[in-house]
Amino acid sequence: MTSNGRSAPGSSLDQARSHHTDNTPHVPIPSSDLKSRLEIFASKIPNGYIAPFCGASAGVASGIVTCPLDVIKTKLQAQGGFRRGGAQEVASGAIYRGMIGSGRRIWREDGIRGLYQGLGPMLLGYLPTWAVYLAVYDRSREYFYDETVPGSWWLSRGYASITAGACSTIVTNPIWVIKTRLMSQSLKQNSEGVRAPWQYSGTWDAARKMYQIEGIRSFYSGLTPALLGLTHVAIQFPLYEYLKMGFTGYGIGEHPDSGSSHWIGISVATFLSKICASTVTYPHEVLRTRLQTQQRTAPAPSPEEIAFRGGLNHPHDRGRSGGISSSDGMRNRPRYNGMIRTFQTILKEEGWRAFYAGIGTNLFRAIPAAMTTMLTYEYLRKQISTYQHEGKLKLEMEQQYQNPI
């Protein structure tokens, strides 16, 4: 079968046509098997639905594969916000240290469930995130492109990435806040002072309690650094598409008929683009995590006297009522208030290294996640394209058999 959609000499379609012109008995094309049904179904799918479907499927696949690493990364990023005391105690009191040590501790304290905390909202979030992102990116990159403007290829891809990222971020930010909170909490109580001030049993329980205690604004905590984090995709996707074209000769969503080297090129392009984007933009993830993992108002006093930055009956909490939400003793005043102040607070108390807390784990998680996402996306695009082509041929053949000349 040739690239222009015509069948190659000797193909089943040519043979069927030759039989038809020779007035041989007409045998209907079998369409009862699953593959034939899928091909005919795919041929009827509007092109505008393909990118969202492939993107959502790819996001779900990467979420399942990398959830444990995302939990470890989130705990490494968030633990400084749950400690008591000043900079010295925050720096010296970390209990999650490194990927392997953190993984062992989570496994010891919470078991396999601890490594998959937040999987529900993660999958729920990936569905609209990648569906919206790749659909908008696929359409807007050509909309912004103007071949008469120098550098328009890079600019159009950059604008498309930011536009797509803004749309998906605004739509899905509440889901990611819930996911981050579920991942940062411990399933079991511990006495070392690094414990979130909430305890949620699941996605809907978290959403209900957040709305009742903190209001609708809590669902958009960390939105500003998340939007600033669009620089990540503005780097990653244009660079990925550029590298893929360099390695394979094809753009995003485009494929040759065959060739294993094509998939190697996709993997290398994904690896290089992701590591560049993640390294440059990682600090914004720490800012976003800290903003998402603090309560905007003081929780109700509890019999265990759990404070925002405290554990159970910790010496630093004695003499204070439960539910104080900041380290300076001011009731109802969030510790992190805005991105600039959050940056200043972290820098003062924990130093610049805190902005790269968990980056090793993040890269170890982000690169496989990106490779899973892009390989799944590209594979599904290729398969659906092939199925569409074969389905159209079968429909054409059936029409010819039903309406002989």
Q: Report the chain (405 residues): mean pLDDT per 10 consecutive residues.
A: 43 45 48 76 86 91 86 74 49 62 82 82 83 90 87 92 92 86 66 59 86 88 81 92 94 81 92 93 83 63 42 41 40 68 87 84 84 94 90 83 71
Q: What is the pLDDT of residue 24?
A: 45
Distance from first CA to last CA of the chain, Å, rounded? 24
Task: Look at residue 334 in the predicted model and tell me its pLDDT.
Answer: 67
Q: Answer yes or no: are the C-beta atoms of 248 and 371 closer than 8 Å.
A: no
CA gap 153, 157 in Å, rounded: 6
Residue 342 per-residue DSSP state? H
The dihedral built from the CA positions of residue 299, 303, 307 and 308, taken in this order, carries a sign that is negative
Tokens linked to 97: 């240290």
pLDDT at res. 379:
93
pLDDT at residue 192 in the model = 52
Rounded to an integer, what distance in angstroms lies between the CA atom of residue 132 and that of residue 166?
A: 10
State the amino acid at position 22 in one-letter form.
Answer: D
What superfamily would CATH give domain 52-188+201-296+334-386? Mitochondrial carrier domain (1.50.40.10)
Instruction: List CB contacts of 135: < 8 A, sequence separation 6 or more.
Output: 48, 51, 52, 55, 164
The interaxial angle of helices 260-292 and 359-402, nearest 10 deg, is 130
C-alpha–C-alpha distance, residues 159 and 33, integer Å: 44
Give the separation between CA 49 and CA 57, rounded to whole angstroms. 12
Please tell me the predicted confidence (pLDDT) of residue 91: 47
Query: Residue 148: its pLDDT value, please?
Result: 83
pLDDT of amino acid 325: 42
CA angle 308, 309, 311 (to 5 degrees): 95
Cβ within 8 Å of residue 368, ≥6 positions away: 62, 65, 66, 69
Give the CB-side neighbour count of residue 328, counting CA atoms within 13 A. Answer: 7
Integer Cα distance of 230 and 5 in angstroms: 38
pTM above 0.85, yes or no: no
Q: State how far the alpha carbon of 173 is from the alpha carbons of 33, 128, 233, in Å.
A: 42, 11, 16
